[in-house]
Amino acid sequence: MNTSMPAGKRILVVEDDPLVARALALRLAALGYVIAGPVASGEEAVAVAARERPDLVLMDIVLPGGVDGIDAARVILDEQRVPLLYLTAYADEERFARARITAPHAYLIKPCNDRELQLAIELALQRHQHEALLRVEAERRERRIDELAATLSALVEGSTDCIFAKAADGRYLLCNRAFERLLGRPRKDILGHGDADLFPAETAARRRADDQRLMSAAVTETCEEILRAADGGERTYLTTKGCLQLADETVGVFAIARDISERKEAERRLRRLSGFFNAVAQTNQAIMHAESAGTLLVDACRIVVRHGDVDGAWIGLLDADGWIGVVADSGIAGEYLRGLRISIDAQHEQGHGPDGAAMRAGRPAICNDFVSDPRTGPWQERARAAGIAASAAFPLRRAGAVVGVFSLYAGEVGYFDEELIELLAELASDISFALEKFSADEHRRRAEADLRSALARLHEVSARLIGVQEDERRRLARDLHDDIGQNLTMIKIVLLGMRRWSAGGEQDEIHEAADIADRTLQRVRALSVELRPPQLDDLGLVPALRAHLGNTCRHAGIRASFIADDGLPSPPEDIAITCFRIAQEALNNVIRHAGATAVVLELRYAQGALILSLRDDGRGFDAAAAFAGAARGTSLGLLSMQERATLAGGRLEVRSQPAQRAGSEVRVTLPLPGAT
């Protein structure tokens, strides 16, 4: 016997024959089942089943009363799911047809043996258990399907993407709220209609052709398309369309369209800003390399039109009468501005526009709808013809004052947004910086030119002064030597002659007077040599230097050496005088300050220049401090040497260190034009 089913299952026995019912109850109890009933009528069966909740109903088909077994089974099955076995002694077709409606698990023909009875019951219970499991699984799956359907519906309805499906004939089968918003129509006016009812004829024909192509090729593709929204504006969509297939059968098309208008606009703005960043960089490069303000302004306009995605740009500077004069332009600006006059005076009609406003207020003036702005009335017709839809004007400054305007034109309303305005203001600031730089450079160049002119005049005056000084020295030396020297010589001769006729006491006085006259004569001759050594004029530079060095060092008790190249070219008089005076002043400084025991004076010729060098072995000094003092006028000797060297086109160098017995060297290099 099959004992797979657990014992204790409750069975409701419905049988109108008491003997049969009693026998069934005993047999089922013997098989381990719990008996509910038995009952003999359909009404009792319904009541006991509702109360006892049996695990199986063993139902006689033919029962007395108004409710037979089939009707009772129908009521019980409507109230609870329970396996049903029919008992019948009749096999007529009519009853079977009625019984089949209740879907019994088996029919038992009375009489039946225990094995048939138990087998039928166990099979019914197993089948019922299996059906219960299947039913639970089916219900779980149905719930899951309902949940997924609800989730999918929520996703479709909540999506900001337009989602729709169309039948093969083009009628809309499904759409979400985003698609309703796009068309500006309720769903009831969309579903069941075709594109011809919803879009312009050209658009509808194009969409229908695309649908047929997708269904024929059974493919899915993604493309960008432009659709006119309910508000009249055009929107850009990234649409994925594909062939809709159910059970391998093409039933239509589906589409998911995402509005990418803002993304496309952001990409366009990013490209625009990138172009303007490039324009700023290019303009800064132009500022670094521009040779004049005019060239820079022309380059700035050209660069911003070429790289900045604007249609025109120009720069104007303010004239003395308050009118803005165009100094540079590019793009459509040149043609647009031809013949126009723009003022910054608010009393003039020509001063009401963005350019005059920007210069008066000293801040950007933006007009993002040029042909509708009341400020641009005088220029609107011309702007409409030129394709100008928006403009931006930025003041240009120099030394803090507004001196001009940088103006740009675009062919798109609303073109100049905050980021672009900020970037263009930076570009205008760079141009203003360049104008300031060129203005400062121009002032500096004029100041340098004036300074060079003043220095040239000063050098000319100094050269004339030195020339006059040398001429005066020559005249004084000649007067001292020729006139005063001769007179003193005559006085000495007269006094010496008087000694022959004088008495003894008078001779001493005459002798003393002659000595005074002789010393005076020697001093006059020394002064004459210092003022203008005769060797310089009579014998040349080298003998004059040798004689002056020997005489000066001999009186000072200093050992002297003179070195000169053989065959030195004869320098011009001004070079010879400069060389001699510098050597004279340097030697005087050695004697007065250095405490030297020896000096070396060299005169050489190299690479077209005369090189004079005076070296000593005395105390050194701070050469840099000495030159600084000379610049302040505290060292007239060094200043005189430096000035003479500069006027002669030469260079003076002093090499010394502030240390005991470090020695010093004064070197001057004087060019000899045309010397060989």
Selected residue with higher pLDDT from 493 and 395: 395
CATH architecture of 10-137: 3-Layer(aba) Sandwich (3.40)
Confidence of residue 329 (pLDDT cuts 50, 70, 90): very high
**Which of 183-197, 279-293, 454-468, 633-647 is most confident?**
183-197
- Residues in contact with 624: Cβ distance below 8 Å, sequence separation at least 6, in sequence order: none
Residue 236: pLDDT over 50: yes
Q: What mean pLDDT comes out for the span 531-544?
A: 71
What are the structural domain ranges in the chain?
Answer: 10-137, 159-259, 270-445, 535-671
Output 487-491 pairs: Cβ under 8 A, ≥24 positions apart: 488/517, 488/520, 488/521, 488/524, 489/521, 491/517
pLDDT at 1: 41
| Distance, CA of 621 to CA of 590 (rounded, Å) | 11
Lowest pLDDT segment from 66-70, 153-157, 409-413: 66-70
The SS3 of residue 117 is: helix
Q: What mean pLDDT comes out for the span 387-411?
A: 91
pLDDT at 450: 72
pLDDT at 471: 57
pLDDT at 312: 92
- Does domain 535-671 match CATH 3.30.870.10? no
Can you give the length of the chain in residues? 676
pLDDT in tens, 429-475: 888 888 888 777 767 777 777 777 766 666 565 556 555 555 555 55
Residue 627: pLDDT over 80: no
Lowest pLDDT segment from 85-94, 95-104, 219-228, 233-242: 95-104
Q: What mean pLDDT comes out for the span 473-482?
A: 56
- Residues in contact with 95: Cβ distance below 8 Å, sequence separation at least 6, in sequence order: 61, 62, 70, 88
Confidence of residue 253 (pLDDT cuts 50, 70, 90): very high
Choosing among 3.20.20.70, 3.30.450.40, 3.30.40.10, 3.40.50.300, the CATH entry for 270-445 is 3.30.450.40
Residue 162: φ, ψ to 5° = -80, 120
| Distance, CA of 164 to CA of 171 (rounded, Å) | 11
Residue 28: pLDDT over 70: yes
Lowest pLDDT segment from 70-84, 289-303, 391-405, 520-534: 520-534
Domains 159-259 and 270-445 share a fold: yes
Q: What mean pLDDT comes out for the span 102-114?
A: 71
Lowest pLDDT segment from 99-113, 344-358, 546-560, 575-589: 99-113
Confidence of residue 252 (pLDDT cuts 50, 70, 90): very high
Residue 403: pLDDT over 70: yes
pLDDT at 391: 92
Q: Mean pLDDT across the chain, nearest whole number?
A: 81
pLDDT in tens, 558-602: 898 998 888 788 888 788 888 888 888 888 888 888 888 899 999
Confidence of residue 85 (pLDDT cuts 50, 70, 90): confident
| Distance, CA of 77 to CA of 59 (rounded, Å) | 12
Selected residue with higher pLDDT from 90 and 654: 654
Residue 654: pLDDT over 60: yes
Listed in sequence order, the DSSP H helices in 390-503 are: 418-479, 485-498
- CATH class of residue range 159-259: alpha beta
* Token digits of residue 192: 């069941």
Residue 556: pLDDT over 60: yes
Confidence of residue 4 (pLDDT cuts 50, 70, 90): very low
- Residues in contact with 467: Cβ distance below 8 Å, sequence separation at least 6, in sequence order: 574
pLDDT at 407: 92
- What number of CA atoms fall less than 13 Å from residue 97's CA on the CB side? 3
Hey, what's the torsion of the CAs at 601, 604, 610, 614, to 10 degrees?
A: -20
pLDDT at 103: 64
**Which of 316-320, 389-393, 555-559 is most confident?**
389-393
pLDDT at 459: 58
Residue 525: pLDDT over 80: no
Residue 91: pLDDT over 70: no
